[in-house]
Amino acid sequence: MPHATVNGVSLYYEVHGRGEPLLLIAGQGRDHRSWDFVRDDFAATHQVIVFDHRGTGLSDKPREPAYSTRGFAADTIALLDHLGIERAHAYGISMGGRICQWLGIDHSDRIGALVLGCTTPGNAHGVPRPPEVDQHMANRPESLESAVQFLVEQMVSTGFAAKHPEYVRSIEDRYRNPIPEYARKLHYLASEGHDTWDLLPKIAAPTLVIHGDSDFINPSPNAQLLADRIPGAELHIVPGGRHGYFVEFREEASRAVIDFLRRHPIGASEA
């Protein structure tokens, strides 16, 4: 299994497809399997890189130093170095979108286009999630059943879940094989501590902000905040989409992202 040593830790990664490199960056406490339901949409046109953040999956899970979204971005660039990739597009969901913001701010010379999915600029300036949802996010539910029910309801509609038991099973597997509790807390604190508001106008990469309009984990008004704050950013709202818009509305969402990347090739961004 391929691993890269980056910034003192070993990260698991996979590479799929051919074409311009595209990083698919998972969210808080998640690993490369977050992209399993849609990865091949992008691998048909791009060289897709998926990986496990420190603290998740098959990667190392150090207790210190403290995790941060800026630090996760540095890990991502170090992974590109390991792979010998000079520039790549980046698409992140949830905390992965927060990581992408830092990629655009700190590493503009390494990034082609950015796609910020179901994410926010941080709690200081973003639109907060409802208190009951925040409580679930901060504390692991007591039972497997309640944990799965909560996350499925936040990610997709009841109708989609009923028609796609394989998606529900993927959520169950996540809770049956959790990351260590200390790593879960470190990821939570990293995401909650994110704040790029003052620096967002520095992002020069072509940027697409994409969000479901029925998302309560990261409420959809955050998408407009990001699009307004990042120069030239495009905004795509997925009607009916929850936090898992990219799975439930796969055809629309993947098509929108692939079209955006096609219109902003890496060669053009280097010019």
Nearest-angstrom CA–CA distance, 146 and 22: 35
**Kind and range of the H or E element at 173?**
helix 165-176
pTM of the model: 0.96
Instruction: Count Cα atoms within 13 angstroms, Cβ side, for 68.
Output: 12
249 in any annotated domain: yes
CATH number at residue 11: 3.40.50.1820
The bridge status of strand 46-51 relative to strand 20-25 is parallel
CA dihedral 226, 229, 233, 238 (to 10 degrees): 20
Q: Residue 271's pLDDT is what?
A: 47
Answer for the pair 16, 39: CB distance below 8 angstroms, yes or no: yes
Low-confidence ranges of the chain (pLDDT < 70): 140-142, 268-271
The amino acid sitting at 12 is Y
242 in any annotated domain: yes
172 in any annotated domain: no
265 in any annotated domain: yes
Residue 237: Cβ-neighbour burial (10 angstroms; 0-12, 13-18, 19+): middle
48 in any annotated domain: yes
Q: Residue 269's pLDDT is what?
A: 52
Domain that holds residue 121: 3-140+178-270
169 in any annotated domain: no
Split into its structural domains, the chain has a count of 1
93 in any annotated domain: yes
Which residues lie closer than 8 Å to 132 by C-beta, 6 or more apart? none
Q: Residue 268's pLDDT is what?
A: 67
157 in any annotated domain: no
C-alpha closest to that of 179 among 67, 78, 77, 83: 67
The amino acid sitting at 7 is N
Strand, helix or coil at 195? strand
Q: Residue 270's pLDDT is what?
A: 52
Answer for the pair 230, 76: CB distance below 8 angstroms, yes or no: no
